[in-house]
Amino acid sequence: MSSSAVAENLRESFRAIAASRAPGEARELPGVSIASAGVTFQMFNAAFLSAPVGSENELAQRILLASSHFDARGIEWAYWVCDHWLDGRARLRSRQVFESHGLRHSVDLPGMVAEHVAPPVKPLPPIEVRRVRDAAARDAFCGIGSVCFHVPFPWFQEVFASASVWERFVGYVGYADGEAVSTAATVIGGGAVGVYNVATLPGSQRRGYGEAVMRHALAEARRESGIARSVLQSTPVGYKLYERMGYRTVTKVAVYAS
């Protein structure tokens, strides 16, 4: 199922980051996957459902399992929930159940899939795209992400500081007239290419840079892996672009933070 590809790739992206850090940890608990980077930015200390949930009580048990894991380590964390795992009343009542266990709703993200990306509807702008391989590119990637996702730069840098993270979490930075303006990243998992960190600095938006860097990242991933299917979680800003590129919504990803 395409919704399962979204969930599996999302977990794989967090595992890639967790595996790159000494405090990182990946564990499988009953019905719960843990992929924690052990960082200040709590969104990267993550829990995921890994099996269907049929009732409110079952959902509460999965929350308590993850909560016990992170409480024992004394770190802030987040639960990333693809709603196709939730059946019936468990889906309708999920927000109340999470909030009753001290997890506030942070954001809902459409989980989208494209079997093949549609061609551009208009010519893309010229842009130099460099793969993240050195400290300068890492800093550019983190700087753009910090601004666009409203996260302190040291938090973003902590997540992506290790050179080893860029072996599985493949990042790209786009340069216009020599200035870093846009980013995208890919992760292979769940039979799909996952697209992450698509961002463009405010002063350079609406010029096609984000789409150009994203298409470059997807082309490289397909060349290296042979996989055409791609998945992503969309922000409201990017939704119309992704629809034009051929993506369709197959699930909703809700994020709850401690």
pLDDT digits (tens, 9 = 90+) for 25-66: 999 999 999 999 999 999 999 999 999 999 999 999 999 999
Q: 192 and 228: one domain?
A: yes
Averaging pLDDT over each range in 2-6, 224-228, 235-239, which range is the top one? 224-228
Q: 137 and 101: one domain?
A: no
In CATH, what number is assigned to the domain containing residue 147?
3.40.630.30
End residue of a domain, out of 80, 109, 138:
109
For residue 95, being part of any structural domain is answered with yes
pLDDT at 121 over 80: yes
Tokens for 50?
């890994």
Over the stretch 104-120, which tens digit does the pLDDT of each residue have? 999 999 999 999 999 99
Residue 149 · residue 157 · CB < 8 Å = no
Q: 102 and 189: one domain?
A: no
**Please, which residues bridge with residue 186 across strands?**
170, 195
Q: 90 and 147: one domain?
A: no
**pLDDT at position 31, please?**
97
For residue 110, the SS3 value is: strand
How many domains are contained in the chain?
A: 2
Q: 99 and 143: one domain?
A: no
pLDDT at 1 over 70: no
Q: Average pLDDT of 109-138?
A: 96
For residue 167, being part of any structural domain is answered with yes
Residue 235 lies in domain: 128-250
Q: Average pLDDT of 135-164?
A: 95
For residue 102, the SS3 value is: coil
Over the stretch 2-29, which tens digit does the pLDDT of each residue have? 899 999 999 999 999 999 999 999 999 9
Q: Average pLDDT of 177-203?
A: 97
Task: Give the pTM.
Answer: 0.95
For residue 74, being part of any structural domain is answered with yes
For residue 247, CA distances in Å to 8, 111, 243 come to 17, 9, 5
Q: 242 and 141: one domain?
A: yes
Identify the band that residue 237 occupies on the pLDDT scale cut at 50, 70 and 90.
confident
